[in-house]
Amino acid sequence: MINPELIRQQVERLTADFIGLGLCNSQNFPSYRNEGILQEISYSGQGDLSIVLKNQPYGEIYSELLRSNSYNLKMLDGALIQIMYRFENGDLKSHRLAFFPSPDLTEYQNHPEIYDDDDIYADIVMRNIVVFPIRFDYDCTEGVFEEIHHPKSHLTLGQYKNCRIPVSAPLTPYLFLQFILRNFYNTAYKKHTESITLFQEYFDQTIFDSEKLIGHFRI
């Protein structure tokens, strides 16, 4: 069974892996708050995340997250990664796993020769790339989730308010970071995947049968 301490250990180990492999240039190691029935794994110095929910231009949202140090990892291209979990009495109640790419890749795209020797930039120097945030959310709170319309576990693309693509189960930190590396830093992923600590734990499925009949992601 996956418990809060296991999640904290995953985030801590994977953060160290990313640092050692040179995949990030700034980071906040995980914090662990245990207050009676509530256990939370987040990042040290967590700032106010209300900016993410406001109707603001993406550039302003990104700048505020960067300014307030509201991330676990800052990748070399400026992308910010957030990893947050909430448990009650050891049972997962919610998670927020977010990827905020830098809204301005002009420097990398206009001068790709500068970054030719750095694997992490190999997938972002194409001029036709359009950056957008992605977020894996999980919330099993009664009154919050709604079958099909607001799946317990879902993927949101580009801050679209009603974009909630069903996901078959909550994601562990390892599965989330593997997804980010494989799809957005594939060159670096192929080179470093065997050097990243492997975790094989999975959360149980939470998807409804009705949600399996529409477009969804299977973990």
Ramachandran category for residue 22: left, alpha or beta (phi over 0 → left; psi -120 to 50 → alpha): left
Q: Is the pLDDT of residue 51 over 60?
A: no
Instruction: Kindly give, in sequence order, each residue whose CB lies less than 8 Å from that of residue 3, ignoring residues fewer than 6 positions away.
Output: 87, 90
Domain layout of the chain by residue ranges: 4-207
pLDDT tens per residue across span 66-88: 999 999 999 988 999 999 999 99
- pLDDT tens readout for residues 114-130: 666 676 777 776 667 78
DSSP characters over 87-120? EETTEEEEEEEEEE--S--HHHHH-GGGGTT-GG
Calpha distance 10→182 (Å, rounded): 18
